[in-house]
Chains A and B, each alone.
Chain A
Amino acid sequence: MFKQNLLLLLISFFLFGGTALAAQKTYINGIDANYPPHAYVGKSGQPEGFDVEALDWIALKMGFQVKHQPMDWDAIVASLLAKKIDMVCSGMSITPERQAVVNFSAPYFSVRKVLLVNADKPLSKEEILKGNKILGVQRGTNEAEWLVQNREANGWNYTLRYYDSAPLAIEDLVNRRPDAVAVDSAPANDAIKKGGKDVRIVGEFAEADDFGVAVRKEDEELLRLINEGFKLLMQDPFWQKLQDKYDTQL
């Protein structure tokens, strides 16, 4: 008798407990884990960062599960379209080129694009752009594209050198191979403040960028969840706490 009851209990647990769990859909968020402080792999080996924590908060509030999947930035849109991941919430700039293939959430963060040089080099922004300099930049980013597209029209003559990640570009600047590097203000500040790199910001280029969460065009439900989630998050004190924690204010 006891055994039968136990069996019934187990069955009902699997049936009802199972449906309760299954109701929470799991989405996979692809991240560029080489982009501190927005997304990186923490000491524990788990994904961390401003964007990661923001999305975790939203998932909890909006009732879905989220798994963060570190991957190569170059292939991240291809991975999204190939359904290897469901969204990209990892410091992705909203650009017309990307908007042609994916949908973006409302902007949730804004970064400036900056030029970095060695702290002891008296280079100005003009000299970097017009002085036949070698300029480092991360492959597959919209700043790389902008620097190519606006080169001729402005009479600039830098040579671009491509890197795997923004921190790697900054590392090579410290090694004095490129004359300057062009990166987002977020990883630039991280390298200066936390990494203690002996480099300085000489100026900005292009327009400030807005970060949005990218989802596939047909995933309208997910986009709605994310947009509503960010609306709630920005009204919550946690939003300010996140910015303080990751020191994202310039």
Chain B
Amino acid sequence: MLAYLAAVAGEAPYILSGSLVTLGVVCASLGLGFCMGVPLALAQVYGLPTARRLVAVYTWFFRGTPILVLLYLFHFGLFDALNLNMPALVSACIVLGLASSAYQSQIFRGSLEALPAGQFKAARALGFSSVQSVRHIILPQALRLSLPGWSNEYSILLKDSALVYVLGVPEIMTRAHFVASRTSWHVTYYILAALLYLAITALGLKLLRLLEKKTRLPGYNL
């Protein structure tokens, strides 16, 4: 038993350092998803009919295609056809980011639509331009409202990130697999991987909950 634990402890640092790769993938794709999700949501709520239709097609495509299919499609198909020789890590971040932007846009759309329609009109009446109204009146409220849904997106994306092992990105799951293959102790290292994912989920959710508390406006009610 002691020898077993010592052996597992010896392998742990390699798998543990995979969580940095996992975190990198999650942060990059959440960031990309956020930067694209907000404009997509604004376009869908305030945009012209054509813009709305385009966003609808975009979200339909990325929400309707399995991430595994998207990974193969983009890494070996699209990026190759465009002559972009992307490293697997970059492909993974882009694909997860695009998929996440589709989900995030719907989180933000929900919040935008939950705001009373009068807010935008009132801001315009006070002399704000439409960009200013969105920037200073609408978004601060909508983003606060979005935080619980966004935390959910974080934990889903974290788990989706395990899929990028098919491209050979050396994240937690890939490394657990490698060590399992060499040592033939599959279950042990899958348990270790599960514990790591649980720890990262707990940590991230805690931080987001803190952010929620920090940004709460006392006495603010819709």
Report A's interface with B, CB cutoff 8 A: 33-36, 40-45, 69-72, 74-75, 78-79, 82-84, 164-165, 167-168, 170-171, 191, 194-197
Contact status B181-A70, CB under 8 Å: no
Contact status A82-B76, CB under 8 Å: yes
Contact status B76-A75, CB under 8 Å: yes
Nearest B residue to A70, CB-CB: B168
A42 to B180, CA, bound (A): 11
Which 9 interchain pairs have the tightest Cβ spacing? A195-B184, A71-B168, A34-B181, A41-B178, A167-B181, A45-B14, A171-B186, A40-B182, A82-B80
* B interface residues, how many (CB within 8 angstroms): 25
Give the chain B neighbours of A43 by CB distance below 8 A: 10-11, 14
Give the chain A neighbours of B80 by CB distance below 8 A: 82
Give the chain A neighbours of B10 by CB distance below 8 A: 43
Give the chain B neighbours of A34 by CB distance below 8 A: 177-178, 181
Task: Give min CB distance, B37 to chain A, whole Å.
Answer: 29
Nearest A residue to B13, CB-CB: A45
Partner of B178, one of A33, A79, A170: A33
Give the chain B neighbours of A84 by CB distance below 8 A: 85, 88
Contact status A72-B184, CB under 8 Å: no
Is B26 part of the binding interface, using a Cβ–Cβ cutoff of 8 Å? no
A231 to B220, CA, bound (A): 78
Task: Give min CB distance, A164 to chain B, whole Å.
Answer: 8
Contact status B76-A171, CB under 8 Å: no
Question: Beyond the given A70-B178, A72-B166, A167-B181, could you list 12 further A-B residue pairs with CB under 8 A, ordered by the A residue number?
Answer: A34-B177, A34-B181, A41-B14, A72-B165, A74-B166, A75-B76, A75-B166, A83-B85, A84-B85, A165-B177, A168-B180, A168-B181
